[in-house]
C-alpha cells in the first residue's frame, strides 16, 4: 500500500504512526505504510425519504429532528469519529474526536456544532478500574441514542426530544461489581441547546461563576444466572444543574424563558426474554424546571414502551408506544405548550428493518401522533413566519431510512 503527503500529515499530527524506517525515507514521493497505531476511523451517512399523507405541514409533530423533513428526501447526518481507546489495565490514555454534519447533527451539537464529542479518556488501575472522560461527551440518560442507527426506530421519542444530548465536563465510570456500574459527572451545564461548547452562562445572560451541573447513571446488567433474561439492563439516572432559556420538550422553543434550574429523573430497562429474538424496553423521563427565584416554571414527563422481534438474521420488527405531557410558563407567568398548546400527545411507531446490504441499515417506518388534549395541533399551511393555525389532531408519517456505517 502506498501513501502521499496527506498520510505524512496524519503521521505528523499523531493520528497514525509510520515505522522508523519509513520516517527516515525522503518525503519526496509516496512511501508504503507498514504499521498503524490503535487509532480507528468510523462513522456513518444517514439519509431518509419522508411522506406525510394529506396537505399542510406547517405544524409537524414536535419530536426531535422532525421539522423540515416532510414530503421529501433528506440528508440527515454525516458523522466521522477518530478514536484511540485506552487500555483497560495500567495507567493508560486515549481520546475521541467526533465531528457530525447536517441538520440532525446541528440539533444534537447545539452551539458546539460541528463538534459532537471531543474528550481525553484516562484509565486508573484503582480497585476495579476507574475510567475518566474530560472534555465533551454524550449525555448519559435516555433509552435512545443521538446516533439513529443505534435506535430501534428511525424517528425519536418525545423522551429523547426533551433530554440533553452532550455535556462538557468530567465524567467518571466505575464497575462496583461485574453487574453494577456507576457513572458520575460534573459539567458546565445540564442542558445542551442554546449553549456553546464551553459555555457557563445561561443564554438569557445569567452567570453563576461557581455553579456546575451534576449528571449520573446507575446500570445493573443481569448476570448469567438469570437464564433467558441474562444481559437485560436496568437504569436509574439523575441530572441537576443550570438549564437554558430556549429549550423545551419539543426542542423548538417550548420551555421556561426565565433562567432556570433543571432536574431530570430517568428510569429505563431493556429486557431480554427466553424467546429467541424477542426483547422489550421501557423508559420514563420526568423533568422539573425552577427559575432563579425558586419558582416552579414547568414540568415534562414521557413514558415509552418498546418491543422488538428478530424474525431472521436480516429481518427485524421494532415497535414503540409513548405518551408525553408537559407545560411551561413564559416570563409573564402564562402557560403555553408546543404546537399551539399541545400539552398531551400519544404516538405509535412501527419499524420494519431489513439488512440487505453489508454495512447498511435499511428501514421502513410508519408513525402516528395524536393530540390528546382535544384541540388541533398538526397541519396547516404557510411558510416560515406565516404559518396558518393547525387543522388536525392526528399526524401520520411514512419514512424510508437508509444508513451506511463505516
Q: Where are the domains of the chain?
A: 1-37, 38-405
Q: Which three cell numbers stand for residue 268?
A: 429505563
- pLDDT at residue number 15: 47
Poorest-confidence range of 48-57, 263-272, 376-385? 376-385
- The residue with greater pLDDT, 35 or 181, is 181
CATH class of the domain at 38-405? mainly beta
How far lies 183's CA from each of 215, 238, 239, 361, in Å?
A: 8, 11, 12, 30
Residue located via cell numbers 420538550: 249
- Give CA–CA dist 256/248, Å, rounded: 8
Residues 176 and 182 sit within 8 Å (Cβ to Cβ) = yes
- Give CA–CA dist 201/331, Å, rounded: 19
Mean pLDDT rounded to a whole number for the chain? 81
Q: pTM, whole model, 2 decimals?
A: 0.82
Percent of the chain at pLDDT above 70?
74
**83-120: pLDDT as tens digits:** 998 877 789 999 999 999 999 998 887 668 899 999 99
Q: pLDDT-derived band of residue 2, with 50, 70 and 90 as boundaries?
A: very low
Helix (H, G, I), strand (E, B) or coil at 365: strand
- The residue with greater pLDDT, 154 or 251, is 154
How far lies 395's CA from each of 202, 229, 272, 370, 381, in Å?
A: 34, 37, 32, 7, 14
Residues 128 and 174 sit within 8 Å (Cβ to Cβ) = yes
Q: How many residues make up the chain in this entry?
A: 406
Question: Residue 214: is its pLDDT beyond 50?
Answer: yes
Residues 375 and 394 sit within 8 Å (Cβ to Cβ) = no
Nearest 5 degrees, angle CA 306-CA 308-CA 313? 160
Task: State whether the Cα torsion 192-198-204-210 is positive or negative.
Answer: positive
- Give CA–CA dist 127/240, Å, rounded: 28
Q: pLDDT-derived band of residue 244, with 50, 70 and 90 as boundaries?
A: low
- The residue with greater pLDDT, 123 or 241, is 123
Percent of the chain at pLDDT above 90?
55
Question: Residue 336: is its pLDDT beyond 70?
Answer: no
Burial category of 307 from C-beta neighbours within 10 Å (exposed 0-12, middle 13-18, buried 19 and up): middle
- The residue with greater pLDDT, 380 or 29, is 380
Amino acid at each position: 500500500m502506498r501513501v502521499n503527503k496527506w498520510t505524512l500529515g496524519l503521521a505528523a499530527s499523531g493520528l497514525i504512526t509510520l515505522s522508523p524506517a519509513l520516517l527516515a525515507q525522503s518525503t519526496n514521493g509516496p512511501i508504503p505504510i507498514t504499521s498503524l497505531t490503535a487509532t480507528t476511523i468510523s462513522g456513518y451517512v444517514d439519509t431518509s425519504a419522508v411522506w406525510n399523507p394529506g396537505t399542510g405541514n406547517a405544524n409537524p409533530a414536535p419530536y426531535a429532528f422532525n421539522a423540515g423533513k416532510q414530503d421529501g428526501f433528506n440528508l440527515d447526518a454525516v458523522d466521522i469519529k477518530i478514536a484511540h481507546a485506552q487500555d483497560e489495565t495500567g495507567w493508560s490514555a486515549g481520546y475521541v474526536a467526533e465531528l457530525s454534519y447536517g441538520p440532525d447533527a446541528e440539533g444534537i451539537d447545539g452551539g458546539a456544532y460541528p463538534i459532537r464529542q471531543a474528550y481525553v479518556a484516562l484509565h486508573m488501575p484503582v480497585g476495579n478500574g476507574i475510567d475518566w472522560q474530560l472534555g465533551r461527551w454524550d449525555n448519559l440518560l435516555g433509552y435512545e441514542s443521538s446516533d439513529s442507527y443505534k435506535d430501534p426506530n428511525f424517528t425519536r421519542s418525545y423522551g429523547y426530544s426533551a433530554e440533553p444530548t452532550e455535556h462538557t465536563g468530567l465524567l467518571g465510570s466505575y464497575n462496583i461489581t461485574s453487574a453494577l456500574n456507576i457513572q458520575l459527572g460534573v459539567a458546565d451545564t445540564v442542558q445542551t441547546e442554546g449553549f456553546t461548547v464551553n459555555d457557563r452562562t445561561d443564554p438569557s445572560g445569567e452567570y453563576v461563576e461557581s455553579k456546575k451541573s451534576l449528571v449520573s447513571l446507575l446500570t445493573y446488567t443481569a448476570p448469567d444466572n438469570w437464564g433467558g433474561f441474562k444481559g437485560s439492563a436496568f437504569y436509574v439516572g439523575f441530572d441537576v444543574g443550570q438549564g437554558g432559556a430556549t429549550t423545551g420538550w419539543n426542542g423548538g422553543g417550548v420551555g421556561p424563558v426565565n433562567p432556570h434550574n433543571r432536574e431530570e429523573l430517568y428510569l429505563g430497562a431493556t429486557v431480554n426474554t427466553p424467546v429467541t429474538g424477542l426483547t422489550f424496553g421501557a423508559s420514563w423521563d420526568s423533568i422539573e424546571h425552577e427559575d432563579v427565584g425558586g419558582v416552579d416554571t414547568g414540568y415534562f414527563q414521557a413514558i415509552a414502551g418498546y418491543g422488538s422481534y428478530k424474525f431472521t438474521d436480516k429481518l427485524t420488527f421494532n415497535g414503540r408506544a409513548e405518551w408525553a405531557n408537559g407545560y411551561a410558563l413564559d416570563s409573564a407567568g402564562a402557560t403555553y405548550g408546543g404546537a399551539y398548546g399541545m400539552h398531551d400527545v400519544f404516538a405509535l411507531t412501527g419499524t420494519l428493518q431489513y439488512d440487505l446490504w453489508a454495512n447498511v441499515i435499511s428501514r421502513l417506518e410508519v408513525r402516528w401522533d395524536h393530540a390528546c388534549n382535544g384541540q388541533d395541533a398538526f397541519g396547516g399551511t404557510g411558510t416560515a413566519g406565516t404559518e396558518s393555525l393547525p387543522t388536525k389532531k392526528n399526524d401520520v408519517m411514512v419514512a424510508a431510512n437508509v444508513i451506511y456505517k463505516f
